[in-house]
Every structure is written in structure tokens, then in C-alpha cells.
Amino acid sequence: MTDDIEKKVYRGRIKVPYKHTGGAYVERFITEIGKSNKILGVKCPKCNKVHVPPKMICHECFEKMDEWVEVQNQGIVKGFTVVTHSTPIMPLEPPFAYGIIKLDGADTDFVHIIKESAPEKLRIGMKVKAVFKENPRKRILDIEYFEAI
Amino acid sequence: MDKVAIVGCAQTKYEAEKIDQTISELVFEVVKKLHNELGITNDDVGCVITGSNDFNDGRTIANMAIQDAVGSVRKSESRVSGDGAFAFVYGAMRILSESYDTVMVVSHCKCSEVDQYLVNNTIFDPYYQRHLGLDQISSAGLMANMYMNKYGVTEDQAARVVVKNRKNALNNPYAHLQKEVTLKDILNSKMMAYPLKTLDFPPFSDGAVAMLLAKEDVAKRMTDTPIWLKGYGSCTDAYYLGNRNMTDLIGLELAAKEAYRMAGISNPIENLDVCEVSENFSIHELMIYEALGLCEKGEGGKFIESGETQMNGSIPVNPSGGVLSSNPAMANGLIRVAEIVLQLQGKADRRQIPNAKTGLAYGMNGICSQGNCVLIFGGD
């Protein structure tokens, strides 16, 4: 930033730590990933769809879901992008990919990272599997990323 | 339905970094300009509704930062935290409920004051998505990839949206980017979120927009060219990206149907003369064509190639140059409304669509058409 601009701006940085209640669904999902490398979903009693990641309410049926189901650690890529821009909150150094992934056994799509930097090595329909973090930190990134099978 | 009109509007020039103006000064510029044009004072304004975003402004209750500039001290005032098109709706309701004769609606954004990637990351839930580092760029890349794969739309077809909108912007004195780009420029620009390249995305802009709404008899006294609200529809799509249908803008489609029903529009291409839409990336505009029913599903690519959405086409889209030319994020929806008002008043100068009688404005909240607001307007 030039000196001219620096003279005119007044800098601020909002640093407000939050502790968001995860709730039973987030808690069990993230805990199982870290503890046993298992990915869980919940099944809607009305439409029978298995939602991954789990949440309390089926948005199609407005029903409470409480039947837990284990799904596979692998699935099919339904969409992907490779990002090259860098931001302070990216978990990997770009370029890397994001994917919309339908895990085997799930009926909804899961959003996560695919560790691949070349778009030509990715395609819709390819199979990927989860790679788990060695030292889980109780967050979605305890699945570190997905990689091609 | 009782009638509510827009009697006038004012915009700033949109620019990358308005370093010499505070947010309040930006807003004062448009509000004072509008007062002067209409020959009114702040006493003639019954109520004020603004649209902005606390995260962008870096303070909660961000509307208090502009209360002097909108003249709302000790006046009825409220705020929509979101796209300015929704602020318009709130303002219109204050008239239709017969609470006020006039309402000032204002929206502003200074993208330059904060890292827009960080602000956009906070759109996502703090459990499943935010830690992945997602933002508006990566989610657009995912959507573009899935849509293009499903319907066989090409990067070349997407680039035509950018060529059109950037060319249109040359005719808009308020537009931020006023430089024509070629298909080659776009296709050769740096890959940003495959399959989208740098020029498939808008700039970040600073700017503000204001308009005065009035009930029927007051509107007719204030102007010879009141522009009437004819239809409104809104619809929100699923929050979690994996719960969206990423290949079709279902939320927008439902919002448009609702607005069309209210306005009595049965054939959008025949009944509408001009559209101003919030296209947040090139492919997005093609998907918007489909959701608005301007063409069949999957035909967005062919539709841009047909030239029908150009200035001289059967349904010009974004004569202003759209978001791809000027992007003061939260104000985009209200700018679309202002541009439609200018078109229907016959005051759009070099970007005027001849004899425009009915127009559509589309504003959007969140990423990838999550919250949708469709508004239909008509002249006398």
C-alpha cells in the first residue's frame, strides 16, 4: 500500500473468538471421524434419504432425523474446481481442488477438498477416498482431504 | 394491489477504491443528489430503509454509520442486512401498508475496505464448510464445472457474457470497468477457479445507490415518469452446497415464477423489454437466462450466441454492464432496480433500450444464487 493511501486509512482488525455450539449431530459426526475414521450420516424417516453430513431436519420433508447410518469413506466426484487464488483461510497451499462428492451409501452430496492441483487429472464420475488426519483436531478437516483411488 | 412507484434514483460512479470518501460521504452524495433532482428536502421523506452488510462495513448495526447521510436521525428507519433489492421490497411494503407516503431506499458497499474473500468465507457455516476455506470464487468454480458438464456449455460461450457486459459498460458513465475485452483476452486470462478464469469474475467496487419510493398520488405529483412495481417474488435455496442442485438455479426459477404471476407475465421474452441481473460470474448469467425462462434449460450457451441478450436483441440483459463491470457487492440488487428505472423512464442515455415499457431486476444474496429477489417494473 502506498504511503499516500496509508495516510488516509485507519486500520482495524476485528478479532472476536466464538465458541459455536456444535449440537449432537455435528459433535457425533466430527468425533467419529477423528476417533474411528468412520463417516456417519442420518436417515430421514419419511424419504429414507441418508444425509451426509448429518443434520437434525430433512429439508425436503421437514422431519426430524435420528437414525444414524455409516457410509463409505469413498465416493464419486460430481463436480470439482481447482483454485489458484490464495486466501489466509485456505487449509492447503493453492493450487488444490474442491469437490462435490457423493459418498457411497449417502443420498446427499458432501463438500470437501481433493488434493490435486491439475484439472486434467480430475473428472466428474471419478472415484475418490477420504484421507484422515493423523492427529484429529475436532473439525471437518479431520478428513484432511480426498484423493483419487 | 395498491400501487407503489419509484420517482427517482441516483448512483455514484463505481470505482475500485474511493479512498477520499467515507461510507457516509458516499451515501450522502447520492441522497443529496436525489433530493436536489426531485426538488425535495429531508422533511419530505417519510421513512428510510437501507441495505448493507455488517461484515463488509466492519461494525454491527452498520446502518448507524450512515444515519446522518440518509437523514434518519429521529425518523422511521430500518435496515435489511443483505442485498439492496430486499431493501427495496421492505421500502415498498412501508408504502403499500399505507404507513408512509414516501420512502428513501439506499444501499452501499465499499469492497475496498476489507478482504472480500474473508468476508465471503463467513457466509458458510462454521462446522462443515467454513474451515475448508470456501469463498465466492471456489463455489462459483464448482457450480460452473457442474453446469457446463451437464449441458455441454463451453468456456467460449461463457466468455461471450463477459464480452457483452464489458462492451455495454462503455455506455454507462457509472460503470467501474470501462474497457472492452475480447474473447481471446478472457480465454487467455489466468485460471482462477477451474473452469473459470480471472476475467470470468467481476472486479470489487465501491459505490452507493439511492431511490425515492412514493404512493400513487404523491408519485404523480413528483414526476411525469413514475415507474410502478408490478411483480415481486423471492425464494431461498438450500444453504449447504451439497444440498443444492448446482446445475440449475431452482431458487431463482421459483422466485421468477412468483413475480411473473403477480405481474401477469406469461411469456417473458415477449412481455419483458429489458433485464438487469446480478451475474456474479460469466456462467452465472447463462444459468440466470434459463431460470428466468428466457430460454430452455441447458440452452444458455446457445442463447448468448444467438445475440438475443445484446443491446439490439429481443431481450437485452444488463445494458448497464452488470456486476461483471461494477461490483459494490451489497448494492448490486438495488443498482439493478435503478438501471431498470432509468430504462423505463427513457433516461438511460447511450445505454437506452428503445421503447422499454416493462423490465426485470434480479438481486441475489449469498453465493451461487442462494437468496433470490425478482422484481418486475412498468412505466405508465
Q: What is the pLDDT of residues A25-44, one digit of tens each?
A: 999 999 999 999 999 999 99
Contact B175, B169 (CB under 8 A): yes
Q: Is the pLDDT of residue A73 over 80?
A: yes
The three three-digit cell numbers of residue B198, written as one number:
480471472
Cβ distance B192 to A85 less than 8 Å, yes or no, reads: yes
Q: What is the largest CA-CA distance in chain A?
A: 63
The CA R_g of chain A, rounded to the nearest whole Å, is 19
The helix (H) or strand (E) run that includes residue A147 is strand A143-148
Q: Is the pLDDT of residue A1 over 80?
A: no
pLDDT at residue number A13: 86
The three three-digit cell numbers of residue B98, written as one number:
399505507
Q: What's the sign of the alpha-carbon dihedral B193, B194, B197, B201?
A: negative
pLDDT at residue number A135: 96
pLDDT at residue number B179: 96
The three three-digit cell numbers of residue A96, written as one number:
488444490
Q: What is the largest CA-CA distance in chain B?
A: 56
DSSP code, position A49: P
Cβ distance A79 to B149 less than 8 Å, yes or no, reads: yes
Look at residues B340, B320, B364, B310 and name the one whose alpha carbon lies nearest to residue B230.
B340
Cβ distance B193 to A88 less than 8 Å, yes or no, reads: no
- CA B2 to chain CA centroid, Å, is 25
Instruction: Report the residue from A20, A90, A112 with minimal CB separation from B126.
Output: A20
Residues of A in contact with B25 (CB under 8 A): none
Task: Express each pLDDT in A100-133 by its tens digit.
Answer: 999 999 999 999 999 999 999 999 999 999 999 9
Residues of B in contact with A124 (CB under 8 A): 145-146, 149
Mutation target vs A (from B138, B199, B201; most A CBs, 10 A cutoff): B138
Considering only the top CATH level, what class is B4-114+205-222?
A: alpha beta
The three three-digit cell numbers of residue B307, written as one number:
445475440
Residues of B in contact with A111 (CB under 8 A): 128-129, 132, 134, 142, 240-242
- Would you kindly state where each structural domain of chain A is located, as residue ranges? 19-148
pLDDT at residue number A15: 87
The three three-digit cell numbers of residue B84, written as one number:
439492496
**Residue numbers of chain B with a pLDDT score lower than 70:** 1-2
Q: Beta B371-378 vs B358-365: how paired, if at all?
A: antiparallel
Cβ distance A83 to B141 less than 8 Å, yes or no, reads: yes
How many Å from the N-terminal Cα to the C-terminal Cα in chain B?
16
Residues of A in contact with B131 (CB under 8 A): 91, 139-141
B104 contact A CB<8A: no
Residues of A in contact with B142 (CB under 8 A): 79-81, 98-100, 111
Residues of B in contact with A26 (CB under 8 A): 127-128
Look at residues B291, B282, B257 and name the one whose alpha carbon lies nearest to residue B376.
B257
**Min Cα separation B244/chain A (Å):** 9
The three three-digit cell numbers of residue B134, written as one number:
470456501
DSSP code, position A57: B
B243 contact A CB<8A: yes
Contact A52, B128 (CB under 8 A): no
The three three-digit cell numbers of residue B256, written as one number:
421468477
**Min Cα separation A37/chain B (Å):** 16
pTM comes to 0.97
Tell me the three-class secondary structure of chain B, residue by residue. Answer: CCCEEEEEEEECCCECCCCCCCHHHHHHHHHHHHHHHHCCCHHHCCEEEEEECHHHHCCCCHHHHHHHHHCCCCCEEEEEECCHHHHHHHHHHHHHCCCCCEEEEEEEEEHHHCCHHHHHHCCCCCCCCHHHCCCHHHHHHHHHHHHHHHHCCCHHHHHHHHHHHHHHHCCCCCCCCCCCCCHHHHHHCCEEECCEEHHHCCCCCEEEEEEEEEEHHHHHHHCCCCEEEEEEEEEECCCCHHHCCCCCCHHHHHHHHHHHHHHCCCCHHHHCCEEEECCCCHHHHHHHHHHCCCCCCCCHHHHHHHCCCCCCCCCCECCCCHHHHCCCHHHHHHHHHHHHHHHHHCCCHHHCCCCCCEEEEEEEECCCCCEEEEEEEECC
Cβ distance B190 to A82 less than 8 Å, yes or no, reads: no
B191 contact A CB<8A: yes
Whole-number percent of chain A with pLDDT over 70? 99
B115 contact A CB<8A: yes
pLDDT at residue number B1: 55
Cβ distance A81 to B193 less than 8 Å, yes or no, reads: yes
Cβ distance A141 to B115 less than 8 Å, yes or no, reads: no
Number of other CB atoms surrounding residue B29 within 10 Å = 21
- Give the SS3 label for residue A34: helix
Look at residues B218, B338, B347 and name the one whose alpha carbon lies nearest to residue B278.
B338
B379 contact A CB<8A: no
A141 contact B CB<8A: yes
